[in-house]
Amino acid sequence: MIISPHSPTRLYFAANKLFRSDDRGDTWKVISPDLTRQIDRNTLPVMGRIQSVDAVSKNASTSLFGNIVALDESPLKEGLLYVGTDDGLIQISEDGGQNWLKVEKVGGLPELSYVDYLLASNHSADTVYAAFDTRKNDDLRPHLLRSRDRGKTWQSISGNLPERGTVYCIAEDRVNANLLFAGTEFGLFVTVDGGNYWMQMKSGLPTTQVRDIAIHQGENDLVLATFGRGFYVLDNYSPLRILSKQFVKQPFALFPVEDSWMFMQSRGKSNMGETYYAAKNPPVGAVFTYYLKDSIKTLKQTRKAKEKKALKEGKAISYPSWDELRAEDTEEAPYLVFTVRDSKGSVVRRLKASASSGTHRVVWDFRYPDFSPVQSSQGRSRSRKSRRQNSDSGMLAMPGTYTVEAARVVRSTTTPFKGKESFQAKILANTTLPASDRKALVAFQKKITGLLRVVQGTGQLLSSLQTEVKSMRKAVYRTPEAGNGLDKELQILQKKLELLNRELSGDDTISSRNANQPPSISGRVYGLVYGQWQSTSAPTTTMRDQYKIAGELFQPVLADIRQIAGKDLPALQKQLEKLKAPWTPGRIPDWKF
C-alpha cells in the first residue's frame, strides 16, 4: 500500500489487482485487471516434482501465489504506475491504470523471479529502478536494475555489490541522481556514481537484512527497516552528495556544516517506565563531518607495517632499539582537533576526534569548555552535581556565526589542515520564558561558571591540605627529635582547616543526623549552576542574590586558605625536613652526596 505523491488523500492497495481510494480509504475501486501470471501454484514442481495434496505442511505459512509485491507511482508524472509481482512480472501504466504494459523478461533474469522492489526516480519520469530476489532459483546474487525508458529496457547497476547478497530495496537521493542506497541480505550499500561502484555503510549498523529504506526529505535522514523489527537512522547523509573519485583522493576534507538549532534536549522517556521503548536521540549540536584518506599511524603501527612488508618480500626485519621501543611506549596516540571560533575569531571550544581513515563525525554541543577541577580517570566525584560538572562541557555559548577548522596532532606537533567552514548557531524558539537579553544571560552564566571554578578548585585544594597535615602529624610521631610544639602547631592548623571546610562545604556533623543547616558556599554555587545548566531563561533575582552572597562568603575563606597553603604549611614542612622526618606529600627532600 502506498500514498500517492500527488494527493495526500489517494491510496493505492495491491493484491493480485490494483485498488485505488481517493478519500483516504473510505471507498475503493479496482483500477486494473489481474496483473499476475495467474499460475496455480499446485502445478509447480517443488524439489523436482509436483507434491501431493497430503504433503506435510504444504500450504501452512505460505502466502497465496500470484500477488503484487512491489508498487510505486512516479513523483514526477501523476498516474505513471509501476507494479511488480511475486511471479516475475513488471506491469506499467501511464494513464492511472486504464492500460498496462507487461514486461515478462527483465535483464536476462529467469522467469518467475520475485520482484522485491520498484522505485520511480525523483529526477526523470522515464527512470525506474527494480530489485529482484532469485533465491528460489538457487541464485543468491544481487540483482539491481535501472530502466531509462519506463521499463521497456533494463540495465544492471549491481556493479561490485558482493556476489552473495540479495538486494531487497533501493532509495535515490532527491538532489544527486547518482547517489543511491541499496539494502541487501548483509547490510547497506551506497553508490555515488549511479551504481558502477558500491561501498558498504556500517558505523553501528549490524550485518543484517535491510528490508526497506525511507528518506526524510526535510532533514536528509536515511531510515532503515531491518529484519527483526529493527529501525536505524543515519542523520543528515547530505555530505555524501559531494563524494566522488576525485574527492576521496585528497588527504583530508571538511564537509560543509549546516546551520544548527540550539535547544535543551528532553530527558529521554522520563518516568514512562521500562515497558515504554524509546531509542536514544542523536546529540544536540553542530555536526562536523570530515573525511580522512589514510589513518595516522603510531610509531608501533608504522614499525609493524614495515615488518609485515619485509616478511612478505622475504627481507630481514630490523630489530628496534630500546630508545625506539621506549618512544613507542610513551607516545600519545595521534588525533585530530577541531577548533571552533566565534565571529571575532576567539577560540570557543576544541574537540578531539578520530585519526582513523574514512568518514567520521564530531559534534559540538554549543557549550564552552568545562572549568571544573581536572581529575585523573581513577578519581571519583563526590556528588551528583560534581559528576555533572566533571565533563568536558560547560555553559551554553551565544547564538551566532561560528567557524570550525581542523588540525592533526602527531607526537606533540600540530599541523593545521587547509580550509574552514562557517555555520550559524540558531535559537529554536520553543522556550516558555526565553531570556529577552541572551547576551546578558550568557554573561551571568560565565560569572557563575567562574565562581564554580574557584570554589571547586579551592575545595580540592582544601582536601589535599587536610591530607597533607594528617601525614605531617604521623611524620612528627615517627621523628624522635620533634617536640610536642610542632605537633601542637599542626593540630591548630588541622582545626582551622576543618572550620574552613565547614564554611565551604557544610557541617557533616549536622547533615549526618538529617538536621537542617544554613546553605554552604558550595551548596549555593551548585544550586546556581544546577538552575542555569539546562536553562535559556533569564536568571531570577534570587539567583543573582545567591551569586552575591556566595561570593562575599567565599572571599575570606579563600584568603585564609591562601595563607595556609602559601606560607603556614610550607614553613612547617621546612621544619620537618630539617629534622630529617619521613617524607610527606608536598615536601621536596633535601639531600647532598
The confidence score (pLDDT) of residue 147 equals 97
CA distances from 161 to 190, 200, 564 (A): 10, 9, 72
The confidence score (pLDDT) of residue 391 equals 58
The helix (run of H) or strand (run of E) holding residue 356 is none
pLDDT (tens digit per residue) in 52-63: 988 888 778 777
Query: Is residue 386 pLDDT above 80, yes or no?
Result: no
Percentage helix, strand, coil, to 5, in the chain?
25, 25, 45
Query: Is residue 577 pLDDT above 50, yes or no?
Result: yes
500, 560 Cβ separation under 8 angstroms = yes
The confidence score (pLDDT) of residue 380 equals 46
What three-state secondary structure class fits 181?
strand
Model confidence, pTM: 0.83
Q: pLDDT band at residue 483, thresholds of 50, 70 and 90?
A: confident
The confidence score (pLDDT) of residue 24 equals 95
pLDDT (tens digit per residue) in 112-130: 999 999 999 999 999 999 9
Cell numbers given for 58 = 504444504
CA distances from 472 to 459, 460, 578 (A): 20, 19, 13
Query: Is residue 267 pLDDT above 80, yes or no?
Result: no
CA distances from 302 to 194, 258, 267, 297, 308 (A): 37, 36, 44, 6, 10
Q: pLDDT band at residue 379, thresholds of 50, 70 and 90?
A: very low
Burial 285-308 (b: 16+ CB within 10 A, else e): bbbbbbbbeeebbbbbeebeeeee
Supply the Cα-derived Rg of the chain in whole angstroms. 35
Q: DSSP characters for 518-549?
A: PPPHHHHHHHHHHHHHT--SPPPHHHHHHHHH
What three-state secondary structure class fits 101?
strand
The confidence score (pLDDT) of residue 389 equals 33
pLDDT (tens digit per residue) in 77-87: 999 999 999 99
The helix (run of H) or strand (run of E) holding residue 91 is strand 90-93
pLDDT (tens digit per residue) in 546-558: 999 999 999 999 9
Report how far residue 219's alpha carbon sits from residue 111's, in angstroms, rounded to the nearest whole number: 40
Strand-pairing partners, residue 2, are 12
What three-state secondary structure class fits 458?
helix
405, 416 Cβ separation under 8 angstroms = yes
Q: In what order do the strands lie in the sheet with 413-427?
A: 260-262, 413-427, 400-410, 335-341, 347-353
pLDDT (tens digit per residue) in 287-344: 999 999 999 999 999 999 999 999 999 999 999 999 999 999 999 999 999 999 999 9
- Side chain identity at residue 93, one-letter code: S
The confidence score (pLDDT) of residue 573 equals 94
Q: Rounded to 5 degrees, what are φ and ψ at 348?
A: -100, -40
pLDDT (tens digit per residue) in 391-450: 589 999 999 999 999 999 999 899 999 999 999 999 998 778 888 999 999 999 999 999
The domain defined by 334-427 folds into Immunoglobulin-like (2.60.40)
The confidence score (pLDDT) of residue 390 equals 31
Q: What percent of the chain has pLDDT over 90?
A: 79
pLDDT (tens digit per residue) in 216-262: 999 999 999 999 889 999 999 999 999 888 898 999 999 999 999 99
Report how far residue 472's alpha carbon sits from residue 570's, in angstroms, rounded to the nearest whole number: 11
pLDDT (tens digit per residue) in 28-48: 999 999 999 999 888 888 888
Q: pLDDT band at residue 371, thresholds of 50, 70 and 90?
A: confident
The confidence score (pLDDT) of residue 376 equals 66
213, 200 Cβ separation under 8 angstroms = no
Q: DSSP characters for 190-248?
A: EESSSSSS-EEE-TT--S--EEEEEEETTTTEEEEEETTTEEEEE---GGGGG--TTGG
pLDDT (tens digit per residue) in 152-172: 999 999 999 999 999 999 999
Find, among 592, 481, 576, 379, the residue nearest to 584 by Cα.
576
Residues in CB range of 104: below 8 A, 6 or more apart: 88, 89, 111
The C-alpha cell 560538572 sits at 389
Crossing angle between the packed helical segments 484-505 and 438-477, to the nearest 10 degrees:
160
Q: What's the distance, CA 219 to chain centroid?
A: 16
pLDDT (tens digit per residue) in 501-529: 999 999 999 999 999 999 999 999 999 99
pLDDT averaged over every residue in the chain:
92
DSSP for residue 328: H
| Mean pLDDT, rounded, for 278-295 | 91
pLDDT (tens digit per residue) in 79-116: 999 999 999 999 999 999 999 999 998 988 988 999 99
What three-state secondary structure class fits 186?
coil
Question: So where are the chain's domains?
Answer: 2-47+61-245, 334-427, 438-578
CA distances from 445 to 164, 368, 396, 440, 535 (A): 58, 11, 8, 9, 10
DSSP for residue 568: I
The confidence score (pLDDT) of residue 469 equals 96
Q: pLDDT band at residue 377, thresholds of 50, 70 and 90?
A: low
Q: pLDDT band at residue 388, thresholds of 50, 70 and 90?
A: very low
The domain 2-47+61-245 belongs to what CATH superfamily? YVTN repeat-like/Quinoprotein amine dehydrogenase (2.130.10.10)
- Side chain identity at residue 240, one-letter code: L
Find, among 70, 66, 72, the residue nearest to 133 by Cα.
70
Q: What's the distance, CA 533 to chain centroid?
A: 22
The C-alpha cell 591540605 sits at 465
Please measure the distance between the N-terminal and C-terminal CA atoms of the chain and give it in whole angstroms: 91
Instruction: Indicate the length of the chain as a whole number.
Output: 593
| Mean pLDDT, rounded, for 564-584 | 94
